[in-house]
């Protein structure tokens, strides 16, 4: 054998040995115990600026205070480790942009190595973040909007609680039946009350029937879905919708700053119920121009703007008499009472629903981790899918084992900025309704 051939054989043997050694070391690394866990790392791409900036800020305020309560108690108990782990948060500003939210989420998963993801309100951002979370198999909790995207695409790592859930269309219903079975889908539909229905029942109670709706809606998915939903219910003529009709409806481009022509058209009808879903700035402009132009509708329901803290700050006393849906009040809940105390110390007032709602996800996660006895993703996901408990005064249960939770809500009415009471259903009401809405 030549020296060259012999040398070639030696090189091959050496390289093979090196490759085998590296493979062995890699497998050893994979099989070796994980680095000791000292914290539970939460991550989120929050819309802190841009068009959804205030909702993101509200979410972050709630999460920070909620985390401080849990961490002051030592953290969340993990049975597998035999000790509690504190919570730590890493977050980025998505600037209310879905593309940025997606890239942020990928960074949180691949670079920051977060254990769980949180997300702020909005279907567009919610679906973008959920797509990434489910691609990598990381649990996502948050206010993710009304879309059925999570259920239709079997996003088994996504869990949300949001009252504005759509009733599946026939093709969507069949897709869900194929995924989850008919019994579970029917349970899901029964547990998701239509967002327009409960406020409408309250309006019937106030007006005594013969309801004439003026619907001024944003020209976006939410505006179209809500008007379509209300139209179908009124056309059915069932129950409370028997003596109702839509006397005026229109869509406007989001960001509109002058509603005077729309208001004058609506004023020319005999509408007694205003129904809309403006953002906070649009809602304030609408109320001010309605007052200036003398359109004093006795019942006003602003779905999107109504619960936002910046809307109340800008609108002042014009919020009096405004109605909208709200989840059950968590009065007496120890976690909420401590949250409210800390919030009041920091901001000098009680928290609004958008400012305390997000803590339910911390409570939900703590509950799931403690039941799972682990922070292993699949064990926690299974615990979340089997959740059936009361959180902040409302039952949390995921009929499909993912996606949206069962929903229960009441109707609230503002007495002044940042102060409101429950007016419907009557059995849980804690104030007499203000009727008609005051405009002075």
Nearest to 57 by CA among 333, 362, 417, 351: 351
Co-location of 346 and 236 in the same domain: no
Q: Do 220 and 257 belong to one domain?
A: yes
**77 and 216 fall within a common domain:** no
What is the spatial distance between Cα 280 and Cα 309, in angstroms, rounded to a whole number? 9
Give, for all 440 residues of the chain, the pLDDT tens digit: 554 444 444 444 444 444 344 334 433 443 444 568 999 999 999 999 987 777 788 889 999 999 999 999 999 999 999 999 999 999 999 998 999 999 999 999 999 999 999 998 778 899 999 999 999 999 999 988 778 899 999 999 999 986 556 667 789 989 999 999 999 998 888 787 656 677 888 888 888 878 999 999 999 877 887 888 788 878 877 777 888 999 999 999 988 999 999 999 999 999 999 999 898 889 999 999 999 999 999 999 988 776 667 788 889 999 999 998 777 767 778 999 999 999 999 999 888 777 888 999 999 999 999 999 999 999 999 999 999 998 887 889 999 999 999 877 788 899 998 888 889 888 888 999 999 999 98
Examine residue 321 and state whether it is found in any structural domain, yes or no: yes
- Strand-pair category, 40-46 with 388-391: unpaired
* DSSP calls for 253-286: -TT----HHHHHHHHTTT--EEEE---HHHHHHH
Beta bridge partners of 93: 46
Residues 214 and 305 both lie in one domain: yes
Cα–Cα nearest to 151, from 398, 407, 408, 409? 398
Q: How many structural domains compose the chain? A: 2
Do 156 and 235 lie in one domain? The reply is: no
435 inside domain: no
Indicate whether 188 belongs to any domain.
no
Does one domain contain both 212 and 361?
no
One domain, residues 244 and 260: yes
State the pLDDT at residue 14.
Answer: 43
Same domain for 238 and 105: no
The span from the CA of 107 to the CA of 113, in Å, is 8
Q: Both 223 and 121 in a single domain?
A: no
Distance (Å, whole) CA 270 – CA 214: 9
Residue 343 counted as domain residue: yes
Residue 192 domain-assigned (yes or no): no
Find all residues with CB under 8 Å of 215, minimum gap 6, and list them: 227, 230, 246, 248, 249, 250, 275, 276
pLDDT at position 137 is: 98
Largest CA distance in the chain: 106
Is residue 367 assigned to a domain?
Answer: yes
**Residue 8 domain-assigned (yes or no):** no
| pLDDT, position 25 | 41
Query: Taking Cα atoms as reference points, which of 122, 113, 68, 116 lies closest to residue 94?
Result: 122
Contacts of 152 (CB under 8 A, 6+ apart): 172, 175, 176, 179
Same domain, 206 and 302: yes
Query: How much is the pLDDT for 167?
Result: 67
What whole-number distance in Å separates Cα of residue 317 and Cα of residue 336? 27
What are the residue ranges of helices labelled H in 82-220?
98-110, 123-136, 149-152, 170-180, 182-190, 197-207
CATH of the domain at 207: 3.40.50.2300
The SS3 of residue 353 is helix
| 349 in the same domain as 239 | no
Co-location of 301 and 416 in the same domain = yes
The torsion defined by the Cα of 317, 215, 124 and 420, in degrees rounded to 10, comes to: 30
321, 413 contact by CB (below 8 A): yes
Q: What is the spatial distance between Cα 419 and Cα 409, in angstroms, rounded to a whole number?
A: 18
Containing structural domain, residue 217: 197-326+410-428
Could you tell me if residue 101 is inside a domain? yes
List the one residue out of 129, 177, 174 whose CA is nearest residue 150. Answer: 129
Q: Is residue 340 within 8 Å of 356, Cβ to Cβ?
A: yes
User: Tell me, what's the pLDDT at 193?
Assistant: 62
pLDDT at residue number 440:
86
């Amino acid at each position: 054998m030549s020296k060259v051939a012999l040398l070639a054989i030696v090189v091959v043997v050496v390289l093979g040995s090196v490759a085998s050694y590296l493979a062995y070391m890699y497998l050893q690394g994979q099989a070796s115990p994980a680095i000791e866990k000292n914290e539970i790392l939460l991550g989120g791409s929050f819309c802190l600026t841009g068009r959804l900036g205030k909702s993101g800020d509200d979410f972050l305020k709630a999460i920070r205070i909620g985390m401080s309560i849990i961490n002051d108690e030592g953290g969340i108990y993990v049975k597998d480790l035999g000790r509690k782990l504190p919570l730590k948060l890493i977050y980025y500003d998505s600037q209310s942009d879905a593309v940025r939210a997606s890239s942020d989420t990928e960074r949180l998963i691949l670079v920051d190595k977060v254990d769980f993801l949180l997300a702020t309100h909005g279907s567009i951002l919610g679906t973008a973040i959920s797509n990434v979370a489910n691609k990598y198999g990381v649990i996502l909790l948050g206010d993710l909007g009304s879309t059925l995207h999570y259920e239709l695409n079997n996003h088994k790592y996504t869990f949300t609680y949001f009252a504005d859930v759509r009733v599946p269309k026939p093709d969507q219903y069949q897709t869900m039946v194929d995924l989850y079975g008919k019994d579970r889908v029917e349970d899901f539909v029964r547990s998701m009350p239509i967002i327009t229905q409960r406020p409408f029942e309250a309006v019937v109670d106030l007006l005594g029937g013969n309801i004439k709706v003026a619907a001024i809606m944003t020209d976006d998915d939410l505006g179209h879905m809500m008007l379509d939903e209300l139209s179908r219910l009124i056309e059915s003529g069932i129950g409370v919708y028997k003596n109702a009709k839509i006397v005026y409806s229109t869509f406007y481009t989001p960001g509109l700053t002058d509603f005077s022509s729309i208001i004058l058209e609506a004023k020319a009808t005999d509408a007694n119920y205003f129904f809309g879903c403006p953002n906070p700035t649009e809602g304030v402009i609408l109320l001010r121009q309605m007052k200036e132009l003398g359109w004093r509708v006795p019942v006003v329901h602003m779905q999107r703007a109504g619960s936002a803290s910046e809307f109340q700050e800008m609108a002042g006393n014009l919020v009096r008499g405004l109605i909208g849906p709200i989840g059950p009040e968590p009065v007496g809940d120890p976690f909420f009472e401590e949250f409210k105390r800390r919030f009041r110390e920091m901001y000098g007032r009680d928290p609004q629903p958008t400012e305390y709602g997000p803590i339910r996800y911390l409570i939900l996660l703590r509950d799931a981790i403690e039941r799972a006895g682990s922070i292993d993703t699949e064990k926690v996901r299974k615990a979340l899918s089997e959740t059936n408990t009361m959180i902040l005064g409302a039952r949390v249960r995921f009929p499909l084992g993912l996606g949206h939770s069962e929903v229960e809500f009441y109707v609230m009415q503002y007495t002044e900025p940042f102060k409101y009471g429950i007016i419907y259903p009557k059995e849980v009401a804690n104030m007499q309704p203000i009727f008609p809405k005051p405009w002075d």
